[in-house]
Amino acid sequence: MKKTSLTALFATMTIFSATAMADGKMDFSTVTKVQYVNDCMQANTSLNVYEGVHKCSCVVDKLDEAFTQTEFEDISTAYMYRNLPADRGAQFRDNKELKGGIKKYEEVSAAAYKECRIQQ
């Protein structure tokens, strides 16, 4: 069952990526989208696989509209590691460019979760 679910996830993400590339509007790679959807589904375990794939794909598409691939990688990394203690987290907490990006990431992410109907 799990193998079938993952196969369906990857097939869906490939279709989404092909559609986005045809439009020329989105920048995220397929790997980035799949990783985000997997992380989103793990964080929202109340969603079944079908619902999780669609809702989390919706969220990553909203993030894709707001950020470039490079911006998203930098900001999401800073968002994850900003709470590291002492000097290890300081480079993520104290960087003024990243602070603004993190704030935008939080706003876009919250709006995307609401629009895509995922409870936070």
pLDDT single digits (tens) 23-79: 556 899 999 999 999 999 999 999 999 999 999 999 999 999 999 999 999 999 999
pLDDT at 9: 53
Q: Where are the domains of the chain?
A: 2-115
DSSP string, 63-97: HHHHS-HHHHHHHHHHHHHTTS-HHHHHHHHS-HH
pLDDT at 3: 58
Kindly report the number of other CB atoms within 10 A of residue 62's CB atom. Answer: 17
Verdict on whether the full-model pTM lies above 0.85: no
pLDDT single digits (tens) 101-113: 999 999 999 999 9
